[in-house]
Structure 1
Amino acid sequence: MTRISGRIVTPDAVVRGHLDLDGDLITAIVPDDSAGDDVIVPGFVDLHCHGGGGHTFTTGSADAARGAAGFHLRHGTTTILASLVSSPFELMRSAVLAYRPLVDEGVIAGIHFEGPYLSAVRCGAQNPDHLRDPAMAEITEMIKIGEGAVRMMTVAPELPGALEAISHLAGNGVLAAIGHTDATYDQTHAGVAAGATVATHLFNGMRPPHHREPGPVVGLLSSTVAVELIADNIHLHPGMLAFAARDAGPDRSVLVTDAMDATGMPDGQYELGGQEVVVADRVARLASNGSIAGSTLTMDVALRNAVAAGLPLVDAAAMASTTPARLLGLSDRLGALVPGLRADLVVLSPDLTLKSVIRAGESV
């Protein structure tokens, strides 16, 4: 048996005591006021990540995907989706085939296609050359050959055929997400009614709110979907992060990194979806027009930033782990520090700096 001591962040409270592990499972939480001041949170679950440590998920390379997943694992992300950007169908198809064995091995939890069925008006750092209207033949084939590996797809609901695509995704166990959209408030709600359950990086890549046309941001916050929030203090001001998280609540708010391969790497020139990206002082931007191009964020820093923005530690831990695990249908296995769940946990110092990571009972 392994025992980890400190302030244990459970779904309901912070308990000072001991977390007992037996093999790959959590077996008990034993209160003890004499336990140390380390902070123990569940292993992070990142629904939206394009790479890190010089490795990318966006090219369909299994070796690169292993490297990216390994980098983020060392920063506490014990469950991760491999996110691609808008790409030709041939690349999307080959990525599904290449990543399916990694899902079977548990290296990644599945694939997230951020595009290509997105708004050209709100494409952000997505390559406009690859954007197109939803193609049911493509979606159907990827779901079929993925055999459960395709877990999420971002779609702009105002595009022709988008509502049918969203409904088809939801009906086949794939999280349909709304993002990179110029939709009206009503079009956004139509997407939710069709089956969308996630908002891809709320605010970013979306028509801004207006008091006479609330648009997708207010449409999504006023719905039942879970909202992704990039807590790097670049994509969102800390005040806006706190506002959105409090409005949606921890059960509907999800911390994500949207990290690219430059995460953890020196400033310089990189590539994303066939476009040149320049990273300077940890900010990634397209060389062509200055659009923010993903992030250099890790989930441990996202948690720390969320708490610094004023969110309770219990809520921030839920946003980083419990809520995304539930969206993936994994809450019966992981995502919280509860006896009987998999022993995925991150040990932080009192100032929330990462100290160690344990996945399935094994130290990383």
Structure 2
Amino acid sequence: MPSQLITAPNMISTPEGGPARVLSPGYVRVEDGVIADAGEGDPPGRPDVELPEGFLAPGLVDIQVNGYFGHDMVDADEAGWHTVVSRLPETGVTAFMPTFITAPIETQAEALRRTRDILPGLPEGARVLGVHIEGPFLSEKRKGAHNPLHLTDPTPEAVEALLETGLVKLLTLAPERNGALEAIRTLTEAGVLVSVGHSDATAAQVRAAADAGARKVTHIFNAQSGVHHRDPGVAAQALIDERLSPGLILDLHHVGPEAAALVFRAAPGRVVLVTDAAAAAGMPPGTYDLGGEPVIMPEDGPPLRADGTIAGSGLRLDEAVGNAVGLGVGVAAAVDAASRVPADLVGRPDLGRIAPGAAADLVWLGPDHRARATWVAGRKVFGGGA
């Protein structure tokens, strides 16, 4: 691949050891799919691509994608995987984790084996970073849209079955379940990021989970104990424990704007923007599937179960970035929450940043923070014009 020089009036740079910041103007030189140079001011040569407005940002990283474009990832066929991988860059996403929700352990293990067979044949598009297993080790009291018939304790045998393929890189569980702390230690030793979620745990139980190795909290405030002043729970510990990164579904439906602003102020540099997208995302109103159960996508708002329970979202990750900026979060911090922070959490320091040596996964965000063009390993996989 020939060398390529891209310039932009604004660029989100991630200097080593420091927070992301906006360079105005900025440039990136790409060689063999990797960022060879990045800086501020006049570029070292004539640009091959000159962005006229907006921001050049690191490719976005979404570590909670149940489905998209009509396909539920847990049972998508090869054509469905091709659609999701090739189209997610339309939303600025260059890497993601398909998320499999609660089901019997053997059903999940079979889905992992099927996914393992599909992955080698995927087209150019968003990178697959491994699989996020969300359940079945969850609390019946905080089940959300998960099927309570399949919720169970994380026995060593169940954990071993999920680890068989090596594809699981993130697992959400409730730390108050029997055997959970032992499971967290086992998963952490296996290189799996453990997240606390769908949990009625006390703050002390969440702290114990972090002591055992948990480093994330799944969709803060949703399907978890909260911040009651005399009975603090999962959300309270997520905000004060610097070892934990709270995931945030910033569609302004799952979490109100004031609460979302609180998350960014209480946990600067730790927030992870996620979509929790369901198969209904990117689709017109109608009935879709989530974990084998029907969900209804209304004209406005997130997908819903028949009983009115929120079931994933229809959010775009670039939209979440724009919503954060609309709440007063700086654009560099908003982009960071959707790129570098999740990439670092899942052990991929080569992604989610514009810095020499990083993969040339890039997105051009317009002034409205919507993706206009996207590159993966230096190849444009979405967009035109620039």
Normalising by structure 1, we get a TM-score of 0.94
Deviations 1:213-248 (A, max 9, x none): 011110222211111011111111122112102211
Q: Which residue of 2 aligns with 1:8?
A: 11
Deviations 1:27-58 (A, max 9, x none): 22243379743201100111111111111212
Cα distance in 1 for partners of 2:29, 2:145 equals: 45
Is the contact made by 1:60 and 1:98 (CA closer than 8 Å) also made in structure 2?
no
Q: What is the aligned counterpart of 1:20 among 5, 8, 29?
A: 29
Q: Which residue of 2 aligns with 1:328?
A: 346
**Which runs of 5 or more residues in structure 2 are unaligned?**
15-19, 44-49, 382-386
In structure 1, the residue corresponding to 2:282 is in which secondary structure?
Answer: coil
Bigger mean CA offset, 67-76 vs 223-232 = 67-76
Q: Which residue of 2 aligns with 1:245?
A: 264
Q: 1:174 to 1:103 in 2, by over 3 A?
A: farther
Displacement of 1:134 after TM fit? Answer: 1.3
1:112 correspondence with 2:120: no
Displacement of 1:306 after TM fit? Answer: 1.0
Cα distance in 1 for partners of 2:290, 2:264 equals: 29
- In percent, how many aligned pairs have the same letter? 36
1:229 correspondence with 2:229: no
Bigger mean CA offset, 134-143 vs 229-238 = 134-143
Cα distance in 1 for partners of 2:192, 2:168 equals: 7
Q: 1:199 to 1:103 in 2, by over 3 A?
A: farther
Q: Which residue of 1 aligns with 2:182?
A: 164
1:181 correspondence with 2:199: yes
Cα distance in 2 for partners of 1:269, 1:359 equals: 32
How many residue pairs end up in the alignment? 360
Displacement of 1:9 after TM fit? Answer: 0.4
**Which runs of 5 or more residues in structure 1 are unaligned?**
none
Q: Which residue of 1 aligns with 2:46?
A: none
Is the contact made by 2:302 and 2:313 (CA closer than 8 Å) also made in structure 1?
yes
Cα distance in 1 for partners of 2:60, 2:305 equals: 31
Displacement of 1:103 after TM fit? Answer: 5.3
1:348 correspondence with 2:351: no
Bigger mean CA offset, 333-342 vs 172-181 = 333-342
Is the contact made by 2:72 and 2:289 (CA closer than 8 Å) also made in structure 1?
no
Deviations 1:129-180 (A, max 9, x none): 221111221211221x213x11011110111111111111111110111000
Q: Which residue of 2 aligns with 1:32?
A: 41
Q: 1:63 to 1:135 in 2, by over 3 A?
A: farther
Correspondences of 1:10-89 after superposition (within 5 Å): 10-11=13-14, 12-15=20-23, 16-32=25-41, 36-59=52-75, 61-89=77-105
Correspondences of 1:218-297 after superposition (within 5 Å): 218-223=236-241, 224-250=243-269, 252-297=270-315
Q: 1:62 to 1:189 in 2, by over 3 A?
A: farther
Cα distance in 2 for partners of 1:315, 1:101 equals: 37
Q: What is the CA RMSD across the aligned residues, in angstroms? A: 1.8
Displacement of 1:293 after TM fit? Answer: 0.4
Is the contact made by 1:51 and 1:65 (CA closer than 8 Å) also made in structure 2?
no
Aligned letter for 1:349? G
Is the contact made by 1:5 and 1:38 (CA closer than 8 Å) also made in structure 2?
no
